[in-house]
Amino acid sequence: MSIGVFDSGIGGLTVLKEIRKVLPNEKIYYLGDTARVPYGEKTKELIVRYSKEIVEFLLEKEVSAIVVACNTATALALKELKETFKIPIIGVIEAGATAINTTKSNKIGVIGTKATIKSGKYEEEIKLFNTKAEVFQKACPLFVPAVEEGILSGKLVNQIIKTYLDDFKGKIDTLILGCTHYPLLKDAISKIYPDIKIVDPAKETALDLKEILEQNEFLKN
Ligand code: DGL
């Protein structure tokens, strides 16, 4: 069987890497929509349209399940995708929200694209798992172009990180990387803020996928 994975660009490869660890033998089709990245600045209508087009393309490859390895598409289009297509489709936000059980202060930061943050989806999901959580959100629109350009460390990136994240210092103990591009900046972020625990939803997403495939009896024994 095969699985389809997509993102607006290269960010979803951070999710693909985790999927590979738990499903080493499945065939995976990855689509990075680099022609139309970034999604985070676009309207819901466009994000839904692009996501549906990609799912249709992946269905032509006869995939049995799809992972929306993009927080923006998960926040804005997952519901429509699930309503439109019959196969299992999973996103990254629920997985990210469940991965916060390490917080001690219940003060959680979420960073993502403008569209993801505006949607409020993370806060909604986090509160389902932790009613005491206080969620601090911030859009970091310069992170995606930096990552797509391969600028992952150095003065410029450190400056951008500080500009967005200094506000979180002393306020939160856990930071969710609510965009699949951001794990590529994880080393740079944790060097600047060593006391903040950084959560990447990718691992949890991969485990969710495996569970869903098992439930649907898609996996070979
Ligand atoms: N990697 C995507 C996400 O997880 C979106 C980046 C973008 O296209 O703006 O939100």
- Ligand 1 neighbourhood includes 39 CB (under 6 angstroms): yes
Query: How large is the average pLDDT for residues 68-80?
Result: 98
Helix (H/G/I), strand (E/B), else coil: 89: strand
Q: Would you name the residues annotated as active-site residues? A: 70, 179
Decide if pLDDT at 220 tops 70. no
Backbone φ and ψ for 214, nearest 5 degrees, come out as: -65, -45
Q: Could you identify the atom of ligand 1 that is nearest to the CA of residue 37?
A: 8
pLDDT tens digits for range 203-216: 999 999 999 999 98
176 has which bridge partners?
A: 110, 199
Helix (H/G/I), strand (E/B), else coil: 32: strand
- Ligand 1 neighbourhood includes 37 CB (under 6 angstroms): yes
* Tokens representing residue 4 in the block: 């389809």
34, with CB counted inside 10 A (0-12, 13-18, 19+), is exposed
With 0.85 as the threshold, say if the pTM is over it.
Answer: yes
Q: Could you identify the atom of ligand 1 that is nearest to the CA of residue 38?
A: 8
- pLDDT attached to residue 200: 94
pLDDT tens digits for range 32-67: 999 999 999 999 999 999 999 999 999 999 999 999
Q: How confident is residue 218, by pLDDT bands cut at 50, 70 and 90?
A: confident
- State the average pLDDT for the chain: 95
Decide if pLDDT at 221 tops 60. no
* Tokens representing residue 147 in the block: 């990552």
